[in-house]
Copies of this chain bind each other. A is one copy, B any other.
Amino acid sequence: MMPRAGIVVTGTEVLTGRVVDRNGPWLAERLRDLGVDLAHIAVVGDRPGDVEAALRFFAAEGVDVVCTSGGLGPTEDDLTAQVVGDFQGRPLEHQPALEERVWAVVSGLLSRWPGLDQDALRQSARKQAMVPRGANVLDPVGTAPGLVVPPPDGAAGPTVVVLPGPPRELQPMWRDAEANPLFRAAIAGATVYEQRMLRLFGIPESEIAETMRQARDAGVDLDALEITTCLRRGEVEIVTRYEPQAAATYAAFDAAVRERHADTLFSDDGTSVDQQVAELLRSSGRTIATAESCTGGLLLGRLTELAGSSDYVLGGIVAYANAVKSAVAGVDPALIERVGAVSQEVAEALADGARSVTGADVGVGITGVAGPGGGTEEKPVGLVWLSVAVGDAQRLTRSITIPGSRADVRDRATTVGLHLVRRALLGES
- Enumerate chain A interface residues (CB-CB to B < 8 A): 11-22, 24-26, 28-29, 32, 38-47, 49-50, 53-54, 57, 61, 73-77, 109, 113, 116-117, 119-121, 123-124, 166, 168, 203-210, 212-213, 226-232, 237, 239, 289-290, 292, 295-301, 303-305, 307-310, 313-321, 323-324, 327-328, 357-359, 371-374, 403-408, 410
Pick the most buried of A47, A210, A226, A357: most chain B CB atoms within 10 A of its CB.
A210
Q: Which of B28, B203, B403 contacts A168 (CB 8 A)?
A: B403
Whether A232 contacts B304 by the Cβ 8 Å rule is no
Protomer copies: 2
Whether B53 contacts A39 by the Cβ 8 Å rule is yes
Whether B12 contacts A17 by the Cβ 8 Å rule is no
Please name 16 pairs of A and B residues whose Cβ atoms are closer than 8 Å in the assembled complex, sorted by A: A11-B228, A11-B230, A13-B230, A38-B45, A42-B42, A53-B61, A77-B229, A124-B206, A168-B403, A296-B301, A296-B309, A297-B316, A301-B410, A307-B371, A315-B317, A316-B318
Q: Which of B13, B206, B227 contacts A77 (CB 8 A)?
A: B227
Q: Which of B17, B300, B309, B359 contacts A28 (CB 8 A)?
A: B17
Q: Which of B54, B229, B321, B359 contacts A314 (CB 8 A)?
A: B321
Could you say which residues of chain B place their CB within 8 Å of the CB of A11? 228, 230
Whether A39 contacts B47 by the Cβ 8 Å rule is yes
Closest approach, in angstroms, between the C-beta of A361 and any C-beta of chain B?
13
A29 to B166 Cα, complex, angstroms: 23
Known: A209-B76, A403-B168, A408-B168. A310 touches B320 (CB 8 A): yes
Whether B45 contacts A50 by the Cβ 8 Å rule is no
Could you say which residues of chain B place their CB within 8 Å of the CB of A166? 231
Whether A206 contacts B17 by the Cβ 8 Å rule is no
Could you say which residues of chain B place their CB within 8 Å of the CB of A373? 307-308
Among residues of B, the one whose C-beta sits closest to the C-beta of A304 is: B296
Could you say which residues of chain B place their CB within 8 Å of the CB of A109? 204, 206
A203 to B120 Cα, complex, angstroms: 14
Among residues of B, the one whose C-beta sits closest to the C-beta of A324 is: B315
Among residues of B, the one whose C-beta sits closest to the C-beta of A47 is: B39
List 6 A-B pairs, minimum CB-CB distance, nearest first: A17-B25, A297-B297, A296-B304, A120-B210, A13-B230, A315-B324
Known: A75-B212, A297-B318, A327-B357. A206 touches B39 (CB 8 A): no
Whether B305 contacts A407 by the Cβ 8 Å rule is yes
Whether A318 contacts B305 by the Cβ 8 Å rule is no
Could you say which residues of chain B place their CB within 8 Å of the CB of A301? 295-298, 301, 410
Q: Which of B75, B292, B303, B316 contacts A208 (CB 8 A)?
A: B75
Known: A300-B318, A310-B320, A320-B314. A77 touches B407 (CB 8 A): no
Known: A53-B40, A300-B297, A359-B323. A207 touches B117 (CB 8 A): yes
Closest approach, in angstroms, between the C-beta of A208 and any C-beta of chain B?
7
Could you say which residues of chain B place their CB within 8 Å of the CB of A29? 16-17
A303 to B292 Cα, complex, angstroms: 14
Whether A209 contacts B120 by the Cβ 8 Å rule is yes
Could you say which residues of chain B place their CB within 8 Å of the CB of A239? 12-13, 16, 18
Among residues of B, the one whose C-beta sits closest to the C-beta of A414 is: B301
A297 to B49 Cα, complex, angstroms: 44
Known: A321-B358, A327-B358. A77 touches B25 (CB 8 A): no
Known: A237-B18, A301-B301, A315-B318. A404 touches B168 (CB 8 A): yes
Whether A317 contacts B314 by the Cβ 8 Å rule is no
Pick the most buried of A43, A57, A124: most chain B CB atoms within 10 A of its CB.
A43
